[in-house]
């Protein structure tokens, strides 16, 4: 569970609304571009102490920025584990509210991390987690640190039940990954199909696109896609070993 020493921010992210301006520190007028090892370690320590489960970094190409009409280059992805207690609840409006409350609460703490970076001379802005114009998943794939599965979910090594927030930043020397070593997972996913076959509402069309009008993930918090997925049930490391052993054997 994410926790924090600072006073809690009373914020609420909403669809079609700008990100709340809940920063306590303004962006520097001349943002720095290189973070020292020392400050970077402090940043990571703070993130993990707050409860962040993992960090990834996306460097956005000019083509990508032009495609999505955005003007920032570097993104920090802050992942948090969605509470397992909620995952096993039956879909309902109440469950949906619990998941949303957790998401909103975590979002409040991400401002502390943005303020830490600002205080140290870097630009840091929270990307709207509910933006329907820029795909955060598309930005996530630029990290080379995740794959999109057939359930349309973003798989990070930390697990399938990850929510995430993103900060755009002036920091150019983040540890960006050059290659994606998770592509095997997409291949495994192609051979599986459990989430599609077990969806209680048949919410996938013939092209395996999730039918938004049928799927109750957002309205009632259905997460059977996660619960039925081997990446959730057995874990990333176990499946990777099994998959690669099969290729060799």
Binding site for ligand SF4 (CB under 6 A): 149-151, 189, 192-195, 199, 201, 203, 210, 215-217, 222-225, 228-231
CA atoms within 13 A on the CB side of 76: 26
* Tokens representing residue 199 in the block: 């969806």
Alpha helix positions (H), the chain = 37-50, 62-68, 84-87, 93-119, 136-141, 183-190, 194-198, 217-220, 224-227, 230-233, 236-248
Q: Which of 50/160 has CB closer to ligand SF4?
A: 160
Q: Which of 109/156 has CB closer to ligand SF4?
A: 156
Q: Which of 61/197 has CB closer to ligand SF4?
A: 197
Q: CB of residue 236 vs ligand SF4: minimum separation in angstroms? A: 11
| Residue in the shown chain whose Cβ atom is closest to ligand SF4 | 192
* Tokens representing residue 12 in the block: 């609420």
Q: CB of residue 195 vs ligand SF4: minimum separation in angstroms? A: 3
Q: Which of 12/218 has CB closer to ligand SF4?
A: 218
146: which residues sit within 8 A by CB, 6+ positions away? 56, 140, 154, 155, 156, 182
Q: CB of residue 140 vs ligand SF4: minimum separation in angstroms? A: 16
Q: CB of residue 105 vs ligand SF4: minimum separation in angstroms? A: 22
Picking from 108, 122, 109, 119, the residue whose alpha carbon sits closest to that of residue 169 is 122
């Amino acid at each position: 569970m994410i926790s924090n020493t600072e006073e809690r921010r009373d914020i609420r992210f909403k669809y079609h609304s700008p990100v709340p301006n809940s920063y306590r520190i303004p962006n520097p007028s001349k943002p720095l571009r290189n973070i020292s090892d020392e400050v970077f370690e402090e940043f990571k320590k703070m993130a993990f102490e707050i409860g962040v489960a993992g960090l990834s970094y996306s460097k956005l190409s000019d083509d990508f920025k032009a495609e999505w009409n955005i003007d920032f280059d570097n993104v920090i992805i802050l992942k948090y584990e969605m509470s397992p207690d909620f995952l096993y609840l039956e879909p309902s409006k109440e469950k949906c509210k619990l998941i949303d409350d957790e998401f909103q609460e975590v979002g409040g703490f991400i401002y502390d991390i943005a303020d830490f970076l600002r205080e140290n001379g870097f630009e840091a802005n929270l990307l709207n987690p509910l933006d329907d114009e820029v795909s955060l998943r598309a930005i996530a794939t630029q990290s080379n640190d995740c794959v999109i599965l057939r359930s349309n979910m973003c798989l990070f090594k930390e697990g399938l039940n990850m929510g995430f927030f993103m900060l755009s930043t002036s920091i150019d020397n983040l540890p960006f990954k050059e290659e994606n070593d998770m592509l095997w997972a997409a291949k495994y996913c192609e051979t599986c199909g459990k989430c599609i076959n077990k969806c209680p509402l048949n919410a996938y069309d013939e092209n395996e696109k999730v039918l938004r009008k049928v799927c109750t993930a957002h309205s009632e918090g259905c997460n059977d896609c996660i619960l039925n997925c081997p990446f959730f049930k057995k874990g990333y490391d176990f499946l990777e070993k099994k998959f690669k052993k099969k290729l060799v054997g």
